[in-house]
C-alpha cells in the first residue's frame, strides 16, 4: 500500500498485510484496509472509528483522525480517492491479461455487456457490475482482478473533463473502444467538440501498440488516426459492417459477414452496439461468425429498451437515461413497432444539456408530431417544450398531455391506458421515470 500510494505510515499496527480493500463500513470484512473516501453523500473520515470496531486492520486517511487501536495501521495520503486509484492501478499491473476499456456517449453499458458475453465463451471475464464506471467503481472493479480472469472489460464514464483520462491510465487497457460522440453533459462541456476531446482521453492509458476501436460512421471518430496505436473501424464503409436491419416483435434481424444475425432486443441502435462488440471479440481471436451466433443468446439490461407486460399493457422500459440521440433512436424504435392499441411515448426531461436544452426538447416534439405515435405524454419543465412543439404541429386534444411530476403522469395513464397499448417510457436518470411504470402497474392490478 505504501509503495502504491507513496503515503506516510504513522502507525504500523499488528498486521503485515490486509485481507482486502473497503470504502464502506457496512460491507467491511475483518482484516480489511478501510479507505476514508469523501463522497457526495458521505464523509468517510466520519466512519473511521466504526471501521476499527468492525475489525479493520488498517485505515487510510487524508486528515487527522481520533487515535486508533495500537493493532490498527494508520496510513496518510493527500487525497484518499487518488490513493484508491493508485492502489487499483498497482494491482492491475500485476496482470498481463487483455483489458478492454469502453466509453462513448451512447450504448457503452450495453456494448460492455455484449463484449463480456462474447468473451466469456473463451474464459472468465471481469467487468464493472451495472454502471460502476467512475473513480470509485472502476478501481473497486480492478481490485477484484484474480488469477483465473482471462479478460477484463471496463466501462469508463465521466462527470467532468479529465476523468476518462484518469480512469484509462488506471486501467491501462490493451484495447480501447469509443462507441460514438453525442450531445451529453453539454451543461458542462458546451459543445460536441469538447465531448469528443473528453472521450478521446481514453488514449491516455491505452498501452503503446494497443488497439483503438472506433465507430466509422461517427463524424468525429471516422477521422481519428494514432501514430502509437492500431486503429480499427466498424460500421458502414469498414470491413465490418451490417445491412438489412429489420426490427420485428421478437427482436432485430440483420446481415453481417454474409451471415444472418439476430438480437433478441428492441431498438435498432443495438445492432451498432453488437457490431462494436464483434469487432473487439475479433481482436481476441473470436471469429465474427461465432460472435454473431453467440449474440443470439444475449439478453438486454434493465431500463434499456426492456419489454415488460403488465395488465395487458406492453411497456418498453428505457428509463435508465436519456440524451437527444438516444431519445431520437427511441422514437424511431417505437415508430417501427406494431401495436394492437395505441403507440404511446412518455418522455421525461433530458438533463445536463445547458443552453441548448430547449432546442433539443423541441426537436423531439417535432419528431413525435410527424410520426405515427398516437399519444405523447411529457413530464418535467424541460419536456414541456417538446409538448408545446408537438401541439403547435397539430398534436393536441387527446394526443398530447403534459405533467409536472411522475405522480401526476401515472394518475393520468392509469385512467386512460387501454389493453393493447404499447408504451415506451424514457427520461434522464434524475427524472426517475421508472416510478411511472410502478405506479401505473400497481393501479391497473388493484
37 and 108 housed in the same domain: no
333 and 420 housed in the same domain: yes
In degrees, rounded to 5, the angle at the alpha carbon of residue 368 between the alpha carbons of residues 389 and 271 is 140
- Pair 80, 61: CB distance under 8 Å: yes
**How many structural domains are present in the chain?**
3
Half-sphere exposure of 15 (CA within 13 A, CB side): 18
Q: Which of 83, 78, 114, 95 is nearest to 171 (CA)?
A: 95
Q: Is residue 88 part of a domain?
A: no
Residues 6+ apart with CB under 8 A from 25: 34, 47, 50, 51, 54
Q: Is residue 89 part of a domain?
A: no
51 and 115 housed in the same domain: no
Distance from the Cα of residue 7 to its chain's centroid: 33
Rounded Cα gap, residues 123 and 235, in angstroms: 27
Mean pLDDT for the chain overall = 94
CB neighbour class for 266 (10 Å; exposed up to 12, middle 13-18, buried from 19): buried
118 and 66 housed in the same domain: no
Q: Is residue 416 part of a domain?
A: yes
Rounded Cα gap, residues 273 and 270, in angstroms: 5
Per-residue pLDDT, 398: 81
**At 218, which CATH number?**
3.40.1190.10
**At 13, which CATH number?**
3.40.1390.10
Per-residue pLDDT, 131: 78
Rounded Cα gap, residues 177 and 161, in angstroms: 18
**At 379, which CATH number?**
3.90.190.20
Residues 6+ apart with CB under 8 A from 327: 347, 350, 364, 426
CB atoms within 10 A of CB 208: 6
What is the pairing mode between strands 251-256 and 259-263? antiparallel
Which portions of the chain are predicted below pLDDT 50? none
* Residue 34, domain extent: 2-78
269 and 362 housed in the same domain: no
195 and 339 housed in the same domain: no
Rounded Cα gap, residues 265 and 281, in angstroms: 20
278 and 315 housed in the same domain: no
CB atoms within 10 A of CB 185: 20
Write out pLDDT tens, residues 77-101. 999 999 999 999 999 999 999 999 9
Per-residue pLDDT, 258: 87
Element (H, E) at 197: helix 192-199
368 and 251 housed in the same domain: no
Write out pLDDT tens, residues 164-205. 999 999 999 999 999 999 999 998 999 999 999 999 999 999
Q: Is residue 335 part of a domain?
A: yes
Any idea what DSSP says for residue 216?
A: T
Q: Is residue 148 part of a domain?
A: yes
Per-residue pLDDT, 309: 87
Write out pLDDT tens, residues 296-329. 999 989 999 999 888 778 899 999 999 999 999 9
Per-residue pLDDT, 419: 86
Q: Is residue 61 part of a domain?
A: yes
Amino acid at each position: 500500500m505504501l509503495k502504491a500510494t507513496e503515503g506516510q505510515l504513522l502507525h504500523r499496527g499488528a498486521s503485515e498485510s490486509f485481507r482486502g480493500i473497503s470504502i464502506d463500513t457496512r460491507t467491511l470484512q475483518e482484516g480489511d484496509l478501510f479507505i476514508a473516501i469523501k463522497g457526495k453523500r458521505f464523509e468517510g473520515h466520519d466512519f473511521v472509528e466504526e471501521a476499527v470496531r468492525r475489525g479493520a486492520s488498517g485505515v487510510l486517511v487524508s486528515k487527522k483522525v481520533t487515535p486508533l487501536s495500537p493493532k490498527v495501521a494508520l496510513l496518510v495520503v493527500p487525497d484518499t480517492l487518488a490513493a484508491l486509484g493508485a492502489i487499483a492501478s498497482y494491482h492491475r499491473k500485476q496482470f498481463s491479461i487483455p483489458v478492454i476499456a469502453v466509453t462513448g456517449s451512447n450504448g457503452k453499458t450495453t456494448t460492455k455487456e455484449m463484449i463480456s458475453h462474447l468473451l466469456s465463451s473463451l474464459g472468465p471475464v471481469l467487468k464493472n457490475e451495472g454502471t460502476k464506471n467512475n473513480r470509485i467503481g472502476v478501481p473497486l472493479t480492478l481490485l477484484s482482478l484474480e488469477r483465473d480472469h482471462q479478460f477484463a472489460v471496463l466501462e469508463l464514464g465521466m462527470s467532468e473533463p479529465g476523468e476518462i483520462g484518469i480512469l484509462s491510465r488506471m486501467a491501462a487497457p490493451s484495447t480501447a473502444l469509443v462507441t460514438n460522440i453525442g450531445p451529453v453533459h453539454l451543461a458542462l462541456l458546451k459543445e460536441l467538440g469538447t465531448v469528443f476531446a473528453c472521450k478521446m482521453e481514453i488514449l491516455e492509458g491505452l498501452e503503446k501498440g494497443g488497439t483503438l476501436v472506433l465507430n466509422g460512421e461517427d463524424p468525429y471518430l471516422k477521422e481519428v488516426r494514432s501514430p502509437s496505436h492500431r486503429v480499427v473501424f466498424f460500421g458502414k464503409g469498414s470491413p465490418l459492417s451490417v445491412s438489412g436491419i429489420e426490427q420485428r416483435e421478437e427482436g432485430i434481424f440483420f446481415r453481417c459477414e454474409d451471415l444472418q444475425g439476430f438480437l433478441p432486443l428492441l431498438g435498432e441502435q443495438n445492432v451498432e452496439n453488437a457490431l462494436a462488440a464483434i469487432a473487439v471479440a475479433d481482436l481476441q481471436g473470436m471469429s465474427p461468425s461465432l460472435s454473431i451466433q453467440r449474440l443470439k443468446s444475449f439478453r438486454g439490461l434493465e431500463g434499456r429498451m426492456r419489454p415488460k407486460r403488465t395488465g395487458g399493457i406492453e411497456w418498453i422500459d428505457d428509463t435508465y437515461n436519456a440524451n437527444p440521440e438516444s431519445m431520437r433512436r427511441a422514437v424511431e424504435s417505437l415508430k417501427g413497432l406494431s401495436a394492437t392499441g395505441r403507440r404511446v411515448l412518455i418522455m421525461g426531461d433530458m438533463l445536463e444539456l445547458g443552453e441548448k436544452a430547449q432546442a433539443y426538447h423541441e426537436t423531439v416534439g417535432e419528431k413525435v408530431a410527424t410520426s405515427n405515435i398516437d399519444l405523447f405524454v411529457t413530464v418535467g419543465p424541460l419536456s414541456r417544450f417538446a409538448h408545446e412543439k408537438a401541439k403547435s404541429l397539430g398534436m393536441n386534444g387527446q394526443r398530447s398531455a403534459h405533467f409536472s411530476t411522475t405522480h401526476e403522469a401515472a394518475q393520468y395513464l392509469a385512467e386512460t391506458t387501454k389493453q393493447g397499448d404499447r408504451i415506451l417510457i424514457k427520461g434522464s436518470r434524475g427524472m426517475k421515470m421508472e416510478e411511472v411504470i410502478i405506479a401505473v402497474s400497481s393501479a391497473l392490478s388493484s
